Amino acid sequence: MFDTKFAIVLREDLAVWQKLNVTAFLTSGIIAEKPGIIGEVYRDADGNVYNPLSIQPVIVLSADEKTMSTIHRRALEREVKTSLYVEEMFSTGHDVANREIFARFGPDDAKVVGIALHADKKIADKITKGARMHP
């Protein structure tokens, strides 16, 4: 049905609250970069209006720390722009601090806890190889 895939990969050892938090942040990054992925507003039977949602499913996967690093590297090699969340961002409280701490790390030393991408399905599958469906 879709030629693209919207995938989020979470490091498997995160606490539930961290997984939910990272998923929300990463999703917002993809939506900001690709606004065409958002559909029309929803209306219920009484005419109440609700925010539009993504037009395609979001696949949530999990992986260990080593696989997360590999996925990050593959995305960079294929020049697929991603949303990325590093472990140290849990210690901050706002966007400016998040960007400051994020900038301290490069691909070789970033402790990636979450990565999201929206790309051609075949490319997305190659990048996320080794990750499993989130339980």
Rounded-to-integer distance, Cα 105 and Cα 86, Å: 9
What is the model's pLDDT at position 1? Answer: 81
Domains of the chain: 4-133 (3.40.1490.10)
As to burial, measured by CB atoms within 10 angstroms (0-12 exposed, 13-18 middle, 19+ buried), residue 34 is: middle
Nearest to 60 by CA among 127, 16, 114: 114
pTM above 0.75, yes or no: yes
pLDDT tens digits, one per residue of 77-107: 999 999 999 999 999 989 999 999 999 999 9
Mean pLDDT (the chain, rounded): 96
